[in-house]
């Protein structure tokens, strides 16, 4: 292991830019402009990021509420007796899981990291004033909010209808509120011919949301191409930006396919054009191909930005330059590329030919390698570091562990024969929750704790944050680990009723869901309390080396009061904790000595 030594990174210091310590300037982006109009019509990427945060977290709460609701329904196996009451409760459950999945995927997890942290942090890590197209950015925010509210209204009115029916209430159906029970995947021909009434409108909602995603992607790519500061070559971009770059490419290329697919679905429902429904001469499996051509890359749209966050956290809290920068940067692009070619692994049991299945399987295996190596790179970053167990680091460690399990269990599903028995069961549910929720959500929370002081200028209290983390981590594993076993034992997914032999697993899972929900509420309270009672944050509370830590917390309207110059993004030399201000500042003298001491090559500050 002593082989881990290396070339000296190219460095730069804050002091070189003349900006050190607490600025304490009265004007920041939060106070720059008052009134509702100054928010609704803002072109400031930071405010847009916060407005996204409002939406994303609201929808996350909805999705989470319905996750808890459906886990509550699964506490006992229901009634299986063909009665009207059983039918109504099945419909209610089906609405619940559809709502949970659709809201979490389209309104929470896809926009979570890119739209909140991407918008807020990306221009600042570039040392830029804003994104390349601020007005386009505002447009994509509006589309997100409108699409989201429309979508949530539809789902809610449907759930209201199903709930009232299940409880035998006399009620009027809300306009459009026929319910949606297709699952978030909208599989045909169920969705096109048999499902409840709101499919067409829900599909339009997703269609609009897709545009928001595309516009954000375009904006980010343009920003990274045109607004990098002096000294920041492509290979000096922070890894979070590389992750966002790869994500944006996927958003631009894959989302239109979803839009077209959903339009075709709407055509079939509205005017009976036979595309997917065999009764009209269509092919239902064609829909699955179209759908996963978007939705498999979408899985990486969800995870890549999260991996970017983790790279940032690992550096800052291990006090060590990232291990294998080039590999991590390139693997993001490689994963983005290969992710377009693996969609068929969702269809191993659909009657697909063994030849195409084997190609999809092999390509899927290929994604496993860069993912595995990323994990080893993060471990390599921790090796011989100076690890600080702050709350964001706890989430990053949680991420690595859960992502490892999520990724490794993917081997069962990428391998063609083992997939046959496990697909469509709770094993799949557990697998993608480990990857999507265990990984993306943990990275999201870690990122929130990490950048919260930069956003609002206040630090959350550590102790409640740690307690919340423990609840979330334990609750998560208690919820989803039993689902692996239950799935391997044959429990199919999307079942309102289940056989008694699965009860113990379902009950563990439900207890876990409540534990996790408690943890998430605690974390939310912890962050919100910080706004009122938290310690004032210095510019650089964690010792981060990327450019956003070189300006005040919260930043001024224009982000920087000087033109920043970039060097190696992960140059930690000379960053020292200053007790007086409770934050980190760079001591150029120490930095110089440290650089010289660490390697005989030596390097000049930028």
Residues 93-132 that bind another protein (CB under 8 A): 94
The secondary structure element, H or E, covering residue 591 is helix 588-598
Distant-in-sequence contacts of 157-163, Cβ < 8 A, 24+ apart: 157/198, 158/95, 158/99, 158/196, 158/198, 159/66, 159/92, 159/95, 159/96, 159/99, 162/88, 162/91, 162/92, 162/94, 162/95, 163/92
**Do 518 and 471 meet the contact criterion of CB atoms below 8 Å apart?**
yes
How is residue 501 annotated by DSSP?
G
Closest C-alpha among 487, 332, 480 to residue 425: 487
Upstream peptide bond of 189 is cis (omega within 30 degrees of 0): yes
**Near another protein by CB under 8 A: residue from 318, 332, 546, 551:** 318
For residues 297 and 142, what is the distance between their CA atoms, to the nearest angstrom?
Answer: 24
Q: How far is the CB of 194 from another protein (least distance, A)?
A: 6
The secondary structure element, H or E, covering residue 583 is strand 583-586
Per-residue contact string for residues 418-457; x = within reach of another protein by CB under 8 A: xxxx-xxx--------------------------------
171 binding another protein? (CB under 8 A): no
C-alpha R_g of the chain: 25
Facing residues of 535 across strands?
459
Q: How far is the CB of 344 from another protein (least distance, A)?
A: 13
Per-residue contact string for residues 331-370; x = within reach of another protein by CB under 8 A: -----------------xxxx--x--xx--xx--xx-xx-
Q: How far is the CB of 473 from another protein (least distance, A)?
A: 13
DSSP letters of 556-580? PTTS-SS------TT--TTEEEETT
**Near another protein by CB under 8 A: residue from 225, 230, 501, 535:** 501
Of 566 and 572, nearer to another protein (C-beta) is 572
Q: How far is the CB of 486 from another protein (least distance, A)?
A: 10
**Near another protein by CB under 8 A: residue from 18, 37, 81, 532:** 81
**Near another protein by CB under 8 A: residue from 108, 120, 292, 412:** 412
Of 40 and 379, nearer to another protein (C-beta) is 379
Sites for another protein among residues 6-45 (CB under 8 A): 6-9
For residues 122 and 112, what is the distance between their CA atoms, to the nearest angstrom?
Answer: 14
Q: How far is the CB of 174 from another protein (least distance, A)?
A: 18
**Do 382 and 320 meet the contact criterion of CB atoms below 8 Å apart?**
yes
Sites for another protein among residues 531-590 (CB under 8 A): 570-573
Q: How far is the CB of 50 from another protein (least distance, A)?
A: 32
Facing residues of 458 across strands?
536
* From 298-306, 372-380, 465-473, 580-588, span contacting another protein (CB under 8 A): 372-380
How many chain residues bind another protein (CB under 8 A)?
A: 113
* From 48-56, 276-284, 333-341, 435-443, span contacting another protein (CB under 8 A): 276-284
504 binding another protein? (CB under 8 A): no
For residues 387 and 488, what is the distance between their CA atoms, to the nearest angstrom?
Answer: 38
233 binding another protein? (CB under 8 A): no
Q: How far is the CB of 386 from another protein (least distance, A)?
A: 4
**Near another protein by CB under 8 A: residue from 181, 312, 539, 548:** 181
Of 454 and 595, nearer to another protein (C-beta) is 595
**Near another protein by CB under 8 A: residue from 387, 525, 528, 604:** 387
**Near another protein by CB under 8 A: residue from 498, 542, 560, 584:** 498
Which tokens go with 164? 């009232």
Closest C-alpha among 185, 178, 46, 163 to residue 493: 185
């Amino acid at each position: 292991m002593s082989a881990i030594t290396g070339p000296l990174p190219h460095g730069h210091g804050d002091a070189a830019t003349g900006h050190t310590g607490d600025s304490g300037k009265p004007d920041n982006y939060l106070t720059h402009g008052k009134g509702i109009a100054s928010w609704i019509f803002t072109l400031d990427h930071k405010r847009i990021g916060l407005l996204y945060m409002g939406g994303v977290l609201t929808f996350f709460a909805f999705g989470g509420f319905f996750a808890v609701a459906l886990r509550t329904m699964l506490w006992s196996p229901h009634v299986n007796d063909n009665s009207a009451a059983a039918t109504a409760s099945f419909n209610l459950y089906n609405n619940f899981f559809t709502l949970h999945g659709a809201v979490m995927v389209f309104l929470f997890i896809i926009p979570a990291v890119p739209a909140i942290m991407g918008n807020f942090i990306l221009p600042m890590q570039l040392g830029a004033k804003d994104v390349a197209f601020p007005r386009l950015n505002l447009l994509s925010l509006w589309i997100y909010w409108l699409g989201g509210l429309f979508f949530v209204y539809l789902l809610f009115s449907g759930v209201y209808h199903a709930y009232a029916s299940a409880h035998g209430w006399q009620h009027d159906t809300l306009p459009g509120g026929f319910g949606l029970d297709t699952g978030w995947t909208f599989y045909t021909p169920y969705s096109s011919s048999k499902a409840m009434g709101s499919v067409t409108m829900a599909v339009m909602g997703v269609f609009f949301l897709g545009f928001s995603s595309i516009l954000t992607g375009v904006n980010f790519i343009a920003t990274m191409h045109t607004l990098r500061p002096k000294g920041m070559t492509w290979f000096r971009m922070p890894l979070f930006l590389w992750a966002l770059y790869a994500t944006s490419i996927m958003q631009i290329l894959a989302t239109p396919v979803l839009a077209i697919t959903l339009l075709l679905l709407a055509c079939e429902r509205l005017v009976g054009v036979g595309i997917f429904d065999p009764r009209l001469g269509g092919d239902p499996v064609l829909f699955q191909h179209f759908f996963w051509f978007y939705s498999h890359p979408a899985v990486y749209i969800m995870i890549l930005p999260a991996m970017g966050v983790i790279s940032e956290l690992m550096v800052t809290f291990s006090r060590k330059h990232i291990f294998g920068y080039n590999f991590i940067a390139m693997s993001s692009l490689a994963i983005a590329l290969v992710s377009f070619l693996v969609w068929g692994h969702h269809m191993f049991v659909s009657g697909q030919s063994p030849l195409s299945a084997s190609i999809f399987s092999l390509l899927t295996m290929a994604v496993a390698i860069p993912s595995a190596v990323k994990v080893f790179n993060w471990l390599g970053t921790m090796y011989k570091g100076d690890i600080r167990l702050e709350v964001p680091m706890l989430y990053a460690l949680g991420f690595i562990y859960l992502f490892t399990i999520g990724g490794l269990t993917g081997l069962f599903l990428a391998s063609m024969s083992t997939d046959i028995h496990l697909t469509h069961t709770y094993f799949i549910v557990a697998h993608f929750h480990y990857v999507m929720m265990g990984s993306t959500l943990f990275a999201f929370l870690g990122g929130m704790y990490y950048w919260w002081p930069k956003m609002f200028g206040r630090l959350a209290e550590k102790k409640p944050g740690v307690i919340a983390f423990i609840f979330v981590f334990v609750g998560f594993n208690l919820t989803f680990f039993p689902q692996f076993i239950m799935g391997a034992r044959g429990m199919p997914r999307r079942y309102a009723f289940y056989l008694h032999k699965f009860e113990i697993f379902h009950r563990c899972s439900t207890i876990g869901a409540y534990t996790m929900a408690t943890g998430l509420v605690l974390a939310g309270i912890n962050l919100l309390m910080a706004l009122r009672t938290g310690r004032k944050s210095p510019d650089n509370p964690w010792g981060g080396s990327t450019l956003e830590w070189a300006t005040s917390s919260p930043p001024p309207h224009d982000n920087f009061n000087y033109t920043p110059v970039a060097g190696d993004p992960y140059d930690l030399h000379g960053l020292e904790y200053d007790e007086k201000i409770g934050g980190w500042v760079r001591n150029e003298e120490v930095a110089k000595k440290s650089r010289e001491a660490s390697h005989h090559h030596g390097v000049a500050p930028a």
